[in-house]
Amino acid sequence: MLVSIVVPTYREAENLPHLIDRVAEMAKAHALRVEMIVVDDDSRDGAVGIVESRPEPWVRIVVRTEDRGLSQAVLEGLRQAKGDVLVCMDADLSHPPEAVPAMLAKLDAGADFVIGSRYAPGGSTAHDWGFLRWLNSRLATVLARPLTHASDPMAGFFAMKRSTFEAGRDFNPVGYKIGLELIVKCRCERVVEIPIHFEDRRFGVSKLTLKQQLLYLKHLRRLYSFKHGAWSELVQFLAIGGVGTAVNLLLLTALLLALAPLKLAVAIAIFGSMCVNFALNRRLSGSLARTAAWPRSFVHFVLASSPGALVNYLATILTLGRFPGFPPQFAALVGIAAGAAVNLVASRYLVFKATHVRAHRKSG
C-alpha cells in the first residue's frame, strides 16, 4: 500500500527539511511506502531547491502560480497523488508525522475520514496557546457542528482512502478549512479522531488572519447549503436577523439614553439594523450576489426591505401607544417580529435572488 502525504506550503522553506526527515524516520520505522507531494503556491523562498536536493526519491514539489490558496493546493496534491491512502498535513511542524500509522489503522478498521485531533481525549496543544486563540478555535468548531460531530473539524491533519476522495463532488472551498470541505462533499459518515499534540510553528509566520476567518463564515454557508439545502437558507436568514435585532436594540437603547425623541430613535435603530443586514447578506450570499456595485445593491435592498421596515416601525409605535408603560426595547421586539416575514420574502428572496438570476443570464 502506497501512502501519499500532501503538504501545502507558502513560505515554509525553513520547515521542509525537518518535516521530510521526520516523515522518513516514521516511514522507515513502520515499513511504509510513502510519497510526499509538496504543493507550493509560488513562494520563491528556496523551497524548490530544498526539495529537489533531497536524496529521498519519494519527495517531489509542485509549484502553482494560478488560483493560489491552501485549500486549492491540497486539492491539487490529492488529485496528483498516486497512493491508495491520502494524508494531508501542514508544513509548519505543528502536525506530528509519527501519528500517521495510527491514522492508517483507523482507516483499516473502517473509518471514512481520520483526523489528527487536538481536542480528542488525550490530545493537547502547545502551552503558550493564548485564551483568545483557544476561544477562536472553539467557536469555529461550534459553528461547524451542524456539519459534523467531530471535536476538531478545523484540523488540517487528516487521512482518507483514495476511493473516498474520488466519490466527492462539487469541491469549491474558500479559505483554509479543506478538511471540513472533504468531510461534507465526500459524505464521510464515519469520522474518527486520534489524539495528537499540536505544536506551535518553529519557523515562519502564521497565515491565519481576520480575512481567513471571514472566509470561513462564507465557506460554512456553502457547506450548509450543500448538506442541508433550503433549511440552510432559513437558518442564515434567522442568524442575520438575530444580529440585526441586537443592533436595533443596542442603537435604540443608546439613543434613548442620549435623550433622543422616541419616534426618531425607533426609526434610526431600524435603519441601522437594515444596514447591518445588507452588509451581512452581501458578504455571505456569494460572489454572484455581489456583482453589482454596492450603492446600487443597497438602494435595491432598502426599497425591497421598506415594507417590512414600515411594518416594524408602525408595530413598535402602536405597541408603545397601546401600552404606555411597556419598555421600548420590548416594543421594538414586537415590531421586529411583525416585519420579519415581509423582510424574509422581500430582502432575501427578491433582491439577492434577482441579482443572482441577472448575473447568471449575463454569464450565459
Confidence (pLDDT) at 91: 94
Residues 301 and 179 in one domain: no
Residues 154 and 95 in one domain: yes
CA torsion sign for 55, 59, 65, 68 is negative
Q: Residue 326: what are its φ and ψ, rounded to 5°? A: -70, 130
List 63's β-bridge partners, or say none: 40
Which of 227, 248, 277 represents a domain boundary (last residue)?
Answer: 227
Q: Tell me the pLDDT tens digit for each residue of 304-354.
A: 788 888 999 999 999 998 888 888 999 999 998 888 777 666 545 554 444
Q: Please tell me the total number of residues recorded for the chain in this structure.
A: 364
Residues 129 and 88 in one domain: yes
Judge contact between 228 and 257, C-beta under 8 A.
no
Which pLDDT does position 272 carry in this prediction? 92
Quick one: 205 and 275 in the same domain?
Answer: no
Same domain, 195 and 301: no
Helix (H, G, I), strand (E, B) or coil at 215: helix
Contact 113/182 with Cβ under 8 angstroms? yes
Contacts of 318 (CB under 8 A, 6+ apart): none
Query: Is residue 208 within 8 Å of residue 176, measured between CB atoms?
Result: yes
Q: Kind and range of the H or E element at 102?
A: helix 100-108
Please check whether residues 288 and 206 belong to one and the same domain: no
> What CATH number corresponds to the domain at position 142?
3.90.550.10
Residue 32 and residue 144 share a domain? yes
Q: Are residues 236 and 334 in the same domain?
A: yes
- Of the three residues 179, 196, 227, the one that is the final residue of a domain is 227
The answer on 144 and 218 residing in a single domain is: yes
114 and 155 fall within a common domain: yes
pLDDT in tens, the chain (364 residues): 899 999 999 999 999 999 999 999 999 999 999 999 999 999 999 999 999 999 999 999 999 999 888 999 999 999 999 999 999 999 999 999 999 999 999 999 999 999 999 999 999 987 666 666 777 777 788 878 888 989 998 899 999 999 999 999 889 888 778 999 999 999 999 999 999 999 877 666 665 555 666 677 777 777 877 776 655 566 666 677 788 899 999 999 999 999 999 999 999 999 999 888 888 777 665 443 455 577 877 887 788 788 888 999 999 999 998 888 888 999 999 998 888 777 666 545 554 444 444 444 444 4
Residue span of the structural domain in which 203 resides: 2-227
Determine the pLDDT at residue 271. 93
Domain boundary among 227, 253, 288: 227
- Could you report the per-residue pLDDT of 41-74, keeping only the tens digit for each? 999 999 999 999 999 999 999 999 998 889 999 9
CA dihedral (317, 322, 327, 333) in degrees, to 10, reads: -60
Residue 178 CB burial class (10 angstroms; 0-12, 13-18, ≥19): buried
Same domain, 268 and 148: no
User: What was the pLDDT predicted at 345?
Assistant: 64
